[in-house]
Amino acid sequence: MMLVSAPWVLPICSSPIRDGAVLVEGARIARVGTLADLSAAHPTAERRHFDGCTILPGLVNAHTHLAMTSLQGVAGPGDFATWISRIPAAWGALSASEIRESIERGMRMSLASGVTVVGDISYGPDSPATGSQLGIGGVFFEEVLGIPAEELPARLREMCFPAPHADPRIRQGLTPHAPYTAGPGLIAAAHSAAASARAPFAIHVAESAAESELLASGTGPLAAVAARVAVGFEAPGTSAVRYLDALGALDGALAIHCVKVDAADAALLAAKTRGVVVCPRSNAYLGNGAPPVELLLEHGVTLGLGTDSLASNADLDLFEEARALAHIAPTLTAEMIIAIMTLGGAKALGVEDDFGTLEPGTQADLAIFGVVGEDPHVALLAEASTQTLRALLAAGEWRT
């Protein structure tokens, strides 16, 4: 039993606790309250106090591709269609050992920024295995694309999907990537397979103007990509969101990016999906514009925050992403943004029972930053970073 305390504790679901503490038993949180109350109730507990710090739940990077960490800089910022045309060759040049090293490096960078939970696009068992070893939990979405729907069952057998992970912090999910790399039959079949396995389903959607043009008219810079790999694709003449809804693929989905959406799309996303993950710095890097965050929230969409991969970002620091979010959505308060990067991401991934808050029974994941202020949310948004992370607890073990 361990008592971890600091001048501020942010449970997320309730008010900040001044001079607070978190009681940890094994890999779970047992109690949260004031240091005075918990000390009196548990006088023999091991103690660790962090002066000048704020404790909050482990952060949730709800969309990333950690296997692509080593692809940083292989395609510079600019046009999305040009960027995506360069990634397959760079990815294909990596050896299996280089991919494993890339995964581990990305996970260590994530931990160094206070992230203990990810929505990671994975390409085999190495990502969840490494996450389990290092203390990173969440959902690892196996990616399928570029095949006809009838080949999906064989591909899923090769991937051992579904296969419950031995680590209760790890869930396996499925993603057919995007409407321009997976045909309608594959998208619908992948959604059905995920639903049958009760596994999370994710898809990149409405990320770029090029994608919108492809869906509207079948033309533009992604037309050649779709013709090559999106088997059976025909332009539906609608938005990407409405296209996926017509395929039945929005139900319970995690929708990633959602930059090019209107009010009707936002209403569908709120009604059908588990949530939307926005990645503002990746969108800017690729010249895609900014997601309409206020519009999505106005319609009741659950929002999570993601860095995407280092192939389209400067780093994996989720607080840097949060500051970019604050810039494009100035009506959001610091408290709202910190909720998005913790509980919001956990809800979007479907893991809110275990992560995203400091509540009894949840995983003992604590991110402790050397930041204090009269309003701890404002102070964190202004100052928290990899440089101010003082300690990180994941599954009840100190990781940094």
Q: Are residues 188 and 115 in the same domain?
A: yes
- Could you tell me how many residues make up the chain? 400
Mean pLDDT, to the nearest integer, of 258-268? 98
Q: Which pLDDT value is given to residue 163?
A: 86
Q: Are residues 230 and 324 in the same domain?
A: yes
Q: Which pLDDT value is given to residue 125?
A: 94
Q: Are residues 106 and 14 in the same domain?
A: no
Q: Are residues 18 and 119 in the same domain?
A: no
Angle at 263 between CA 258 and CA 268, to 5 degrees: 70
Using pLDDT thresholds of 50, 70 and 90, give the confidence band for residue 368: very high
Report the candidate in 29, 81, 73, 80 with the shortest Cα–Cα distance to residue 55.
29
Q: Are residues 79 and 154 in the same domain?
A: yes
Here the CATH number for the domain that contains residue 114 is: 3.20.20.140
Q: Are residues 24 and 83 in the same domain?
A: no
Q: Which pLDDT value is given to residue 206?
A: 98
Q: Are residues 314 and 391 in the same domain?
A: no
* Distance set, CA 216 to CA 16, 248, 379 (Å): 47, 19, 44
Q: Are residues 337 and 388 in the same domain?
A: no
Would you say the pTM of this structure is higher than 0.85? yes
Q: Are residues 107 and 12 in the same domain?
A: no
Q: Are residues 50 and 65 in the same domain?
A: no
Q: Are residues 297 and 313 in the same domain?
A: yes
Helix, strand, or coil here: 284?
A: helix
Report the candidate in 247, 237, 125 with the shortest Cα–Cα distance to residue 185.
247
Q: Which pLDDT value is given to residue 164?
A: 85
Q: Which pLDDT value is given to residue 78?
A: 81
What is the average pLDDT value for the chain, to the nearest integer? Answer: 97
> Looking at the predicted structure, is the pLDDT value of residue 44 above 90?
yes
Radius of gyration of the CA atoms of the chain, in A: 21
Phi, psi of 341 (to 5 degrees): -85, 5
Here the CATH number for the domain that contains residue 53 is: 2.30.40.10
> Looking at the predicted structure, is the pLDDT value of residue 22 above 90?
yes
Element (H, E) at 383: helix 376-383
110-169: per-residue pLDDT in tens?
999 999 999 999 999 999 999 999 999 999 999 999 999 999 999 999 999 998 889 999
Q: Which pLDDT value is given to residue 128?
A: 96
Domain of residue 344 covers 59-349
Q: Give dist(CA 373, CA 386) in Å, integer.
A: 18
Using pLDDT thresholds of 50, 70 and 90, give the confidence band for residue 208: very high
Phi, psi of 196 (to 5 degrees): -65, -35
Q: Which pLDDT value is given to residue 74?
A: 86
Q: Are residues 18 and 71 in the same domain?
A: no
Helix, strand, or coil here: 9?
A: strand
Structure tokens at 354: 């275990």
Task: Classify strands 115-122 and 137-143 as parallel, antiparallel or unpaired.
Answer: parallel
Report the candidate in 182, 206, 348 with the shortest Cα–Cα distance to residue 265.
206
* Distance set, CA 297 to CA 146, 270, 331 (Å): 33, 9, 11
Domains identified in the chain, total number: 2
Using pLDDT thresholds of 50, 70 and 90, give the confidence band for residue 76: confident
Report the candidate in 163, 241, 199 with the shortest Cα–Cα distance to residue 191.
199
